Amino acid sequence: MTITVPVCIGDLEPIARDILSRNAWDYYASGADDMLTLRENERAFSRIRIRPQVLRDVSAIDIRTSILGSRVASPFGVAPTAMQRMANVDGEEATARACASLRVPMILSSWATTSLEDMYQGIGESVRWFQLYVYKDRRVARRLVERAAAAGYKALAVTVDTPYLGRRRADIRNKFKLPSHLRLANFSDESKQHVGAGPNETQQDSGLATYVAEQVDPSLSWKDIAWLKTVSPLPVVVKGVLTAEDARLAVEAGVSGIVVSNHGGRQLDGVSATVEALSEVIAAVDGQVEVFLDGGIRRGSDIFKAIALGAKAVFVGRPILWGLAYKGEEGVKWVLRTLEDELKLCMTLAGRCGDGERRMYLSR
Ligand SMILES: Cc1cc2nc3c(=O)[nH]c(=O)nc-3n(C[C@H](O)[C@H](O)[C@H](O)COP(=O)(O)O)c2cc1C
C-alpha cells in the first residue's frame, strides 16, 4: 500500500524517500558501517514497558518544561542536522519558523545551509541553541561562538563524537557532495563552504568524510571544553556522551548539560542505543547538570520513556528532515504536532499529568 497521507512518523519516511534525490536520502537516512546502532536506537525504546496508573484525573495535561532555564512548550526539540536545504528550498529557515510557531526549541548545525544570523530573522524569542564543530583553526570556532552569542542563541552544543566522520557506506558509494547551488552558510571562507570536489575534480570518498578530515580538530580533548567555557558567554552543553565516565568528566569540565547521543548511529557503530546509555549517565551526574537525549525518537511514547528515565528533554533528528521533504515548514509542523499529540495521549493513558512527577513511570 502506498501511503500518501501520513498518520504517524513511520508513514512519513517512505514519502520522504520518494521525494528526495538518492544523494540526499542516503546522506540523511544512513548510519555508520552495518547500521547496528542506528537500528538499536529505535528498537531499544520498544523493549521498555510503561507502568500505567488509572483513575488519576487526567483532564489537564501539561507538557511544558524548561531547558537550561528557558521555558519551552514541550520536552522535545529539533536536533542539529546538517544541510537542510537538500530536503526543501527553505531548509533551516522553514524548520525555524515551524519551531517558533509551536515554541519548540531548535539546535542549528554548524553545517547549516542557512547562516546562523539568517536563521534567526523573524522568529522572536523562541529558544535556539547553536551546535559547534571545533575546527583545527580555533579562530573559526571562536568566531562562531561570538556570532551565536550576538545573534541571541541560548547555548552551545559542542559535538564531541566526531573527530573523524563515521564510515557511512552509502555516502562513500555515492561520493556524497553538497549540491553545487548550496553552501555551508556559516562560513565565509570558500574552503569551508563546499562539501565534495568541484566540477573538474575527481572524488573517491564521501565528500563530507574528506571535509571533516581536513577541517575538524581530532585533537579536541576535555581541556578544550574548559577553554571553550572561557571564550563562550553561552552555557556549554556536550553532545555525544554515552558513558558514566565521560559524564563525570563533563561535569568536572563545568558543562551545563549533556546530550546522550550516538549521532543517530552515524559515528561508532556498535555503541549502545541512547535510551540504554541514559540511565548510567543520569546516575553519574546525580542532578548536577541537565541531561538530554537524542536518537531513535519516533513517537510520543519514546519521549515519555526518555523523560521517565530522567532526561530533561529529547531532540529529534531524521523525522524533521522527512517533514521538511514532505511539505517544508508545514511538514515540520506536522511532525512536531504529531509528537505533541502522541505524547499528551500517552501521558493521559498512563495517568501522568505533567512535569515534576516523574517517578515510577516504567516497569523494569
Ligand atoms: C542527516 C543528519 C545530519 C546530521 N548533522 C549533524 C550535525 O551537523 N551536527 C551534529 O552534532 N549532529 C548531527 N546529526 C546528528 C543529530 O544531531 C542527532 O544526534 C541524530 O539525528 C538523532 O537521531 P535520530 O535521527 O534518530 O533522531 C545529524 C544527523 C543526521 C541524520
- Closest by CA to 343, choosing from 5, 16, 64, is 64
What is the bridge-based pairing of β-strands 155-159 and 128-132?
A: parallel
Whether 356 shows a pLDDT value over 60: the answer reads no
Q: In this structure, which amino acid lies at residue 25? A: W
**Cα–Cα separations (whole angstroms), residue 357 to 75, 307, 308, 343:** 14, 10, 9, 15
- Per-residue pLDDT tens over the stretch 183-196: 999 999 989 999 99
* 111 ligand 1 Cβ < 6 A: yes
pLDDT, average across residues 111-135:
89
Q: 59-117: per-residue pLDDT in tens?
A: 989 999 999 999 999 999 999 999 999 999 999 999 999 999 999 999 999 999 999 99
Residue 148 pLDDT more than 90? yes
Average pLDDT, the chain: 94
Percent of the chain with pLDDT over 70: 96
CA distances, 52 to each of 44, 226, 310, 352, 353 (Å): 19, 43, 17, 8, 12
Name the strand (E) or helix (H) holding 71.
strand 70-72
Cα(333) to ligand 1 centroid in Å equals 19
Please work out whether the CB of residue 81 comes within 6 Å of at least one atom of ligand 1: yes
Residue with CA at minimum distance from ligand 1 atom 10: 80
N residues, the chain: 364
pLDDT of 248 over the 50 cut = yes
Chain centroid offset of residue 285 CA? 21
Of ligand 1's atoms, which has the minimum distance to the CA of residue 265? 23
Cα separation of the two ends of the chain: 37
| pLDDT tens-digit series, residues 29-46 | 999 999 999 999 999 999
Q: Percent of the chain scored above 90 by pLDDT? A: 88
Residue 355 is predicted with a pLDDT of 59
Does the C-beta of 156 come closer than 6 Å to ligand 1? no
Closest CA to 83 of 12, 13, 140, 131: 131
In contact, 315 and 335? CB cutoff 8 Å: no
Nearest CA to ligand 1 atom 6: 81
Regarding the beta carbon of 316 and ligand 1, being less than 6 Å apart is answered yes
Q: How many Å lie between the centroid of ligand 1 and the Cα of residue 183?
A: 18
Q: Does pLDDT of 359 surpass 50?
A: no
Instruction: Choose among 358, 332, 363, 334: nearest CA to 347.
Output: 358
- What's CA 57's distance to the chain center, in Å? 34
47 has binding-site annotation? no
Look at residue 249 and tell me whether its pLDDT is greater than 60: yes
Residues 6+ apart with CB under 8 A from 350: 50, 51, 52, 53, 304, 361
pLDDT number for residue 122 = 64
> Can you give the pLDDT at residue 199?
76
Domain range annotation of the chain = 9-357
- Helix (H/G/I), strand (E/B), else coil: 350: helix
Distance 265 CA to ligand 1 centre (A): 9
pLDDT digits (tens, 9 = 90+) for 160-214: 999 999 999 999 999 999 999 999 999 999 899 999 987 778 888 999 999 999 9
pLDDT at 357 over 60: no
Q: Provide CB contacts within 8 A for 155, sequence distance 6+.
A: 68, 129, 130, 234, 235, 236, 237, 256, 257
Do the annotations mark residue 164 as ligand-binding? no
**C-beta separation of 45 from 305 below 8 A:** yes
Q: Is 26 in the pocket of ligand 1 (CB under 6 A)?
A: no
pLDDT tens-digit readout, 288-328: 999 999 999 999 999 999 999 999 999 999 999 999 999 99
pLDDT, residue 362, reads 56
Rounded-to-integer distance, Cα 204 and Cα 212, Å: 15
pLDDT > 90? residue 353: no
Q: Identify the pLDDT of residue 3.
A: 77
Give me the residue label for grid cell 540523511.
Answer: 28
pLDDT band at 364 (very low <50, low <70, confident <90, very high): very low
Q: How far is the CA of 319 from the centre of ligand 1 (A)?
A: 11
β-bridge mates for residue 130, sequence order: 108, 156
Yes or no: is domain 9-357 CATH 1.10.1040.10? no
Q: Write out the catalytic residue numbers.
A: 263
